[in-house]
Amino acid sequence: MIAFQAYSFRKPLAFLLLLLTSFTVLKAGEWKAASARVVITPERPMWLAGYASRDRPSEGTLHDIWAKVLVLEDSLGKKAVLITADVVGIPKPTADRIRRQLAEKHGLSKAQVILNSSHTHSGPVLKDALYDYYAKPIGDAQLKLIGEYTDKIEKQIVAAVGEAIGRLKPAKISASNGVARFQVNRRNNTESALTPETQLNGPNDYAVPVMKISGLNGEPIAIVFGYACHPTVLSTYKWSGDYAGFAQIELERKFPGYMALFFQGAGADQNPLPRRTEALAEQYGITLAAAVAATINQEMKQLRPVLNAGYREVELKLAPVPTREELLKTESSAKDYSKTWARRLIDQIDRGESLMQSYPHYPVQIWNLGGLNWVVLGGEVVVEYALKAKEIFGNETFVLGYSNDMMAYIPSLRVLTEGGYEGARSQVYFKGLSSTWDPGIEAVILSELVKLADEMKVNKRYTRIPGN
């Protein structure tokens, strides 16, 4: 109870200030939140993304795939929108079209919007993505269908955001990290040699970041959770969200009324092993859901209703590009998709076009939700970025990869130096990339994260860049 001191009406300004101050004390700020979803399972057979070995369109559905939306609003009315989708990746042109519409309709900046793909390898190819790395050409009819499908889900996502904004309600948000251990570093362990007794080698990030959003009276709204691991248990021709899809289904069964949104972490070099059966995909999904449930059922940190969001796009340099002669040699000797990559670049040179020297639009994003940092990076980010981001910002930090753009694998300096698929060979699957990354890629990305955090006045544990 607040005791009001008697004020003379000869001091109206002082009395008004006291009333305003008292109202602020009585009415503490609060979050508002709402969620929405849309089924994005293709209605017709389409090519699935993720595996170059596939040679035909889809052949049915294991379970539906989804695009889901969570809208948050802090006590000052600033909004943040998390969009998750069961697709292998959201290319920059698609992300830009969605964000442009959200800016026009709702005044949302790029900083306020995260577009994260689960990276399921049992979802559809999108427009502006990879068309020419399959075992056979996919054909004009399928290209047309892919374009129509992409246009449709862009509209569906924008509509879902509008739907959620239209029914925001007071909420409370809590967060913590759990743990699950079915990810295996695929660079440091040989899949065919694994047995239940094998000692696994790292690096790894077993954290399961969890955020629970409820109404002020406990009514369910959403559960957001993540994991850093490729959804590559399945390689069939059926639509599904892989283990991440099963995890969302299981959580919504365990917590009726809550919408479960999965985000992919820095899992570019992490695989679920063993794999390749529906039973294993379901097992890992249930395991992940159990980790989320255990986290929710223990004490979680309540987040203050204060939102701070920042975003920038930075230039990442490539290593020196190959000459036409070097590309001809690659084309003549290659027995994989390097041949297609080399021919594409040769044709580009012959048309008088310059080969790409850098990628100018790499997205770096930070959210701070009531003291909880979210570090959000584009591309297929290897696990060391999560580990180093946590060195900078704290172990409780949520780290998201596969967000806002899907341009290529993003190796650490160690992975780039070692080479292999994530470090040296994967660029052949991405249009436009004419070489591997420059050795400075890791330092550039981490430095830009620190600069962005400083601009936002976000607290850090360390001012230096780990490993530099």
Would you state the pLDDT for residue 468? 53
Would you state the pLDDT for residue 320? 93
Peptide bond into 231 cis (omega under 30): no
Locate all alpha helices (DSSP H) within 316-412, ordered by sequence: 324-333, 338-350, 384-393
Would you state the pLDDT for residue 199? 86
Would you state the pLDDT for residue 61? 98
In this structure, of 143-147, 242-246, 459-463, the range with the lowest mean pLDDT score is: 459-463
What letter would DSSP give residue 76? Answer: T
Six-digit token pair at 113?
């919007």
* Per-residue burial over 309-331, b = 16 or more CB atoms within 10 Å of its CB, e = otherwise: bbbbbbebbbbebbeeeebeebb
Indicate whether 466 pLDDT > 70.
no
Q: How confident is the model at residue 463 (pLDDT cuts 50, 70, 90)?
A: low
Average pLDDT score, the chain: 91
In this structure, of 94-108, 192-206, 362-376, the range with the lowest mean pLDDT score is: 192-206
Indicate whether 137 pLDDT > 80.
no
Indicate whether 135 pLDDT > 70.
no
321-328 contacts, C-beta under 8 A, 24 or more apart: 321/355, 321/356, 321/357, 321/434, 321/435, 322/434, 322/435, 324/349
Neighbours of 342 (CB within 10 A): 22
Indicate whether 25 pLDDT > 50.
no
What letter would DSSP give residue 174? Answer: E
Would you state the pLDDT for residue 460? 85
Would you state the pLDDT for residue 196? 77
Would you state the pLDDT for residue 8? 38
Indicate whether 7 pLDDT > 50.
no
Would you state the pLDDT for residue 312? 97
d(CA 348, CA 363): 26
Q: How confident is the model at residue 22 (pLDDT cuts 50, 70, 90)?
A: very low
Would you state the pLDDT for residue 197? 77
